[in-house]
């Protein structure tokens, strides 16, 4: 079986386009993460500067201590919000990567089956069993991949639920601490 130059060029073009698409999605994820970090750093700087000015303007030790206590409460809320933002970026990126690999796997399987069909037409008599065995193995591998993918999605859903529960618990604990302070 021979491949034409057009077939090789088309396969190369599809591969390069897939890699560029993946690179673009990863660059977009890096951009989201960078923006989240820049916003957090900027907010921390501005709040730190404001806090330092307020502490310098304190008239006595009691005011100084109350200012210090007051700044801790919003910091916890901001840390929770930052963690949530990080989780969202990671979750979104993981979803994009999973979609990319699902599409590549499906395309690969389709191409292999097509190639096997072409090979079996030109193969010597009696090779049908070998082609069928390869197709069967490919189907089993696809089935295993789909099963692992379902388990991974379930694990992601459980992790998301646990993260949401932990965030809610942290916020509730923080509210109780503020109420008793």
Hey, how many other C-beta atoms are within 10 angstroms of the C-beta on 89?
A: 19
**What is the rounded CA–CA span in Å between residue 126 and residue 147?**
33
**What is the rounded CA–CA span in Å between residue 55 and residue 136?**
73
Structure tokens at 39: 């916003």
Q: What is the DSSP letter of 4?
A: -
**What is the rounded CA–CA span in Å between residue 55 and residue 51?**
6
At residue 174, the pLDDT reads 66
At residue 178, the pLDDT reads 66
**What is the rounded CA–CA span in Å between residue 48 and residue 52?**
6
Hey, how many other C-beta atoms are within 10 angstroms of the C-beta on 25?
A: 17
pLDDT tens across the length of the chain (181 residues): 566 788 778 888 888 898 999 999 999 999 999 999 999 999 999 998 998 998 899 899 888 888 887 877 778 788 888 988 998 898 899 889 888 888 888 888 888 778 777 777 777 777 777 778 877 887 888 788 788 878 877 887 887 788 778 777 777 776 776 677 5
**What is the rounded CA–CA span in Å between residue 47 and residue 74?**
10
pTM of the model: 0.66
At residue 49, the pLDDT reads 92
**What is the rounded CA–CA span in Å between residue 3 and residue 90?**
41
């Amino acid at each position: 079986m021979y491949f034409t130059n057009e077939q090789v060029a088309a396969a190369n073009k599809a591969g390069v386009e897939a890699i560029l698409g993946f690179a673009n999605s990863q660059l977009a994820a890096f951009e989201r993460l960078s923006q989240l970090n820049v916003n957090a750093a900027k907010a921390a700087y501005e709040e730190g500067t404001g806090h330092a000015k307020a502490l310098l303007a304190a008239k006595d030790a009691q005011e100084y201590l109350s200012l210090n206590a007051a700044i801790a409460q919003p910091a916890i809320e901001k840390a929770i919000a930052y963690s949530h933002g990080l989780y969202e970026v990671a979750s979104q990126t993981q979803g994009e990567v999973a979609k990319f690999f699902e599409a590549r796997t499906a395309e690969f399987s389709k191409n292999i089956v097509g190639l096997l069909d072409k090979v079996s037409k030109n193969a010597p008599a009696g090779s049908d069993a070998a082609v069928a065995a390869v197709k069967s193995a490919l189907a089993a591998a696809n089935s295993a991949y789909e099963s692992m993918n379902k388990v991974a999605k379930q694990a992601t859903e459980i992790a998301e639920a646990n993260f949401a529960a932990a965030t809610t618990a942290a916020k509730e604990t923080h509210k109780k601490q503020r109420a008793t302070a």
